[in-house]
Amino acid sequence: MRTGTNHLFIPGPTNVPEDVRMAMNVAMQDQRGPEFGALTLGILADLRQVFRTTTGQVMLFPGSGTGAWEAAITNTLNPGDRVLMARHGQFSTLWAEMATRLGLVVDVIDVAWGAGVPVSEFMRRLAADRKGEIKAVFVTHNETATGVTSDVAAVRRVLDDCFHDALLFVDGVSSVGSIDFRMDDWGVDLAVTGSQKGLMCPAGLGILGVSEKAMAASEKSTMRRAYFEFRDMGATTKTGYFPYTPPTQILHGLRRALDRINAEGLDNVIARHARLAEGVRRGVAAWGLMTCAEHPSLASNTVTAIRVPDGVDAREVIRIGYERYNASFGSGLARLAGKVFRIGHLGDLNEGMCLTALSVAEMALVEAGADIEFGSGVAAAQAWYAQGRMAQATLRMAAE
């Protein structure tokens, strides 16, 4: 018998706030009835703000981030097209694998799992591509497996500097709604996310931001697709209805989740994630441990992958955290299995929750054999959080 709450510190699905869960507790409704269209249209309008696009359109496919990857590829590219991407963690690896399976020729640049997208190598390849054979560049904005955030704006600059016409695909599954994401400013053509991370809902929706250029490409694309057809789904953006039965409960939850984001303010949501993440990183540093991210400038504000010391198995840390303390940490994926555990710090989260994560992780680490001083990580994070809150209070008082 496990008592108390399960502390969910995985990087998605994230904690669904109580009011979002309650908002989903509604009777089934006619998805072709008069009110339904208004619900969807409101959600689409608000999601455009989350993607920060005024010119692109948002599409909601029943599915998940993986489905949205597939929708992005199959609607805009052609069989045999060459695409450029970096492999620097399990999610970029899976995306490259999917692209290959769907019949694209993938120019993969392998870099360390912990590095960001190699912008200068992208520059070299794109500059050399005089004939414009590279049809798309794929960027995993936030590699959830390693806790690394890459510089999408820099990739856009490279494309522009090379006068290259390739479409820019960005996986924002663990960044959109939590880390600064600017679809229009960065010239993102296909932005991909899901409902279960920064958007604080259950899994069930693959969400896409689609630029005008990508929409135009979809008119000519010859890849096979049926369920994920932009043309059919695009009609939704005009009427608010779906070409097939939508997950109405999740949409009601998403409405409430977007209300929460609007009430807090997207900029504040992003700043909160940055503040909370920094506390977690300070905790990790106080333990004397390294993050998987190779440089502080790459550190993700939604997930921290922590390298365990030699002789400690990260799987043990995770097992102890769960079995003894009812806390769930993310595992090390693929080649990182046993070497890292991950603390997800995104979505509906506050300082107390991050301190719980650090506190349980400290116990689990020590019990798994790590030489860590109890309280060291927690104290470092407390100092950072308290300092931030006190500074905020001082600013508020000065403004009053």
Give the residue with the Cβ less far from ligand PLP, 249 or 300: 300
* Closest among 284, 320, 316, 278 to 299, alpha carbons compared: 278
For 149, half-sphere exposure in the C-beta direction (CA atoms, 13 angstrom radius) is 21
Answer for which of 53, 75, 144, 237 binds ligand PLP (CB under 6 A) is: 144
Rounded to 10 degrees, the C-alpha dihedral 353/359/360/365 comes to 140
- Contact set for ligand PLP, span 59-118 (CB under 6 A): 64-66, 91
Answer for which of 173, 254, 284, 364 binds ligand PLP (CB under 6 A) is: 173
| Residue 63 CB, nearest approach to ligand PLP (Å) | 8
Give the residue with the Cβ less far from ligand PLP, 174 or 291: 174
Contacts of 169 (CB under 8 A, 6+ apart): 72, 73, 83, 136, 137, 138, 139, 188, 189, 190, 192
For residues 205 to 244, the per-residue mask of contacts with ligand PLP, x marking binding by CB under 6 A and - elsewhere, is ----------------------------------------
Rounded to 10 degrees, the C-alpha dihedral 53/59/63/65 comes to -20
Give the residue with the Cβ less far from ligand PLP, 123 or 305: 305
Rounded to 10 degrees, the C-alpha dihedral 180/184/190/195 comes to 40
For 18, half-sphere exposure in the C-beta direction (CA atoms, 13 angstrom radius) is 0
| Residue 134 CB, nearest approach to ligand PLP (Å) | 22
Distances (CA, A) of 74 to 80, 225, 237, 314: 12, 6, 19, 38
| Residue 19 CB, nearest approach to ligand PLP (Å) | 23
| Interaction between residue 140 and ligand PLP (CB under 6 A) | yes
Give the residue with the Cβ less far from ligand PLP, 67 or 118: 67
| Interaction between residue 204 and ligand PLP (CB under 6 A) | no
| Interaction between residue 12 and ligand PLP (CB under 6 A) | yes
* Site residues, ligand PLP (CB under 6 A): 12, 64-66, 91, 140, 142, 144, 171, 173-174, 194, 203
